[in-house]
Structure 1
Amino acid sequence: MSLNIVFDFGGVLFRWHPPSFLARVWPHRVANETEGAAVAAEFFTAYGGDWGAFDQGLIDAPTVTARIAARSGWPLAEVAQVVAAVPDELQLLPDTVALIQQLKQAGHRLFFLSNMPEPYAEHLEQSFPLHEWFEDGVFSGRVKQSKPRAEVFELACRQFGVTPQSCVFLDDHPANIEAAKALGWQAILFSDAAEARRQLASLLA
């Protein structure tokens, strides 16, 4: 049986762990991951607010930088440093690459659905062979919609030419998994590639 498997990117195919990221980028402000989690909550606002608008392509990098600095009181230059450092944080997770290659060899169709601002989407396309791994994909910054809103899942199905029931979605955020399931998708909360492989095998059994 062949599946349409749809991958999230941050935390699934690419490293994305804001607490440790901020501890590396802002060592003068963030001493450890515990502090990093608190700062990340304020910086990224749970991917709503100004960062959510950046994810959706509704504002650009200078605008999100200015808005974060204005509401937080952090210096503009330091906020800009974090925004500029995100691409280097998005390092490939080799175990997920191996899973992708295995799934492709088994004949499954692979797609992606990622909340990703346009500048970071361009970086990923230029730095990694996304077109070799995936038939097609949706970046939130290009379609002006983001997870967990139903509209972006519906748009993805239309663009990929698939039905919700034929899709299996891999994402590391429970809210996105719940949204996908509510629309009829099968979905796996991603923790690591080995567990995703086990759960996919169960679906195919």
Structure 2
Amino acid sequence: MLIKAAVFDFGGVLAEEGFKAGINEIAKKNGLDPDSLRKTAFDAVYDTGFVTGRINDRKFWKLFRQTTGISGTDAELTETVLSRFTLRSFMLETVKRLRQAGVKTYILSDQTHWIEDLNQRSGFFTLFDNVFNSYRLGRTKKDSETFDLIINSIGYDPEDMIFIDDHAAHIRRAQEKFLHTIWYTEKHMFFTAMKIFFPELDLSDLEV
């Protein structure tokens, strides 16, 4: 196989996008427009520095309540989000088979410390050689230099690596660094792309 390392996004790829779904539920409970609250929430995780480790979730929820007027305790709001990050079994099995084939596997995610809380529940970090998380890196995939950091840390040439993400802008930045990419939009398309990059890897049973 030509690809030596596979780098996966978390929310939207390895798992359902729990933050988006959670904010939608919070909007519903508070009688607010979900589209508007969702945009406010996504802006807030970056603007407050939550996603880059400058504040924790307690501080984030305090600021978010002040900005939006939502109700709910920190624990309630956090659980509304975390419970919706449902791991995709077909993705985890794909990761397992890649590892069995000798491919190194990694996570690169614009996530907060919540990804570590989720790992405490499910133990999925054991499937990866390393987890690069914006909360610990202090930088996000919006910064193209983040990809330089990951490439240097993994130690392979970018042409030997593939990056899977559900955001087109992140895919574009990875391509600018000469990484192979799969823009995840839906399950069937993902497996079609995987056949191109890993023709010897049988994933046909996972497509169902």
Global fold match (TM > 0.5): yes
Mind listing any 5+ residue stretches in structure 1 that lack a counterpart? none
Contact 2:110–2:133, Cα closer than 8 Å, also in 1: yes
Choose which of 109, 112, 116 in structure 1 pairs with 2:107: 112
- Number of residue pairs the alignment of both structures matches: 198
* Equivalent residue, structure 2, for 1:12: 13
* Equivalent residue, structure 1, for 2:133: 139
Bigger shift: 107-116 or 84-93?
Answer: 84-93
1:91-138: per-residue Cα shift (whole Å, max 9, x none)?
A: 1111212222232233322111011112x1321332233343111120
Choose which of 66, 70, 75 in structure 2 pairs with 1:74: 70
Contact 1:157–1:164, Cα closer than 8 Å, also in 2: yes
Mind listing any 5+ residue stretches in structure 2 that lack a counterpart? 200-208
SS in 2 for 1:62: helix
Choose which of 143, 162, 167 in structure 2 pairs with 1:173: 167
Choose which of 84, 87, 94 in structure 1 pairs with 2:82: 87
Q: Distance in 1 between matches of 2:89 and 2:31?
A: 28
1:49-96: per-residue Cα shift (whole Å, max 9, x none)?
A: 12xx11111111122122222333334x46764334322121111121
SS in 1 for 2:119: helix
Q: When you count helix as a share of all residues, which structure comes out higher?
A: 1
Q: Distance in 2 between matches of 1:172 and 1:47?
A: 18
* Equivalent residue, structure 2, for 1:124: 118
Superposition TM-score, scaled by structure 1 size: 0.83
User: CA distance change for structure 1 residues 28 and 186 in 2, over 3 Å: closer, same or farther?
Assistant: same
The one-letter code matched in structure 1 to 2:122 is: F
Choose which of 45, 61, 66 in structure 2 pairs with 1:65: 61
Per the TM alignment, residue 172 of structure 1 is displaced from its structure 2 partner at its CA by 0.6
Contact 2:45–2:60, Cα closer than 8 Å, also in 1: no
Identity %: 22
The one-letter code matched in structure 2 to 1:42 is: T
1:155-180: per-residue Cα shift (whole Å, max 9, x none)?
A: 21222222222211000111111111
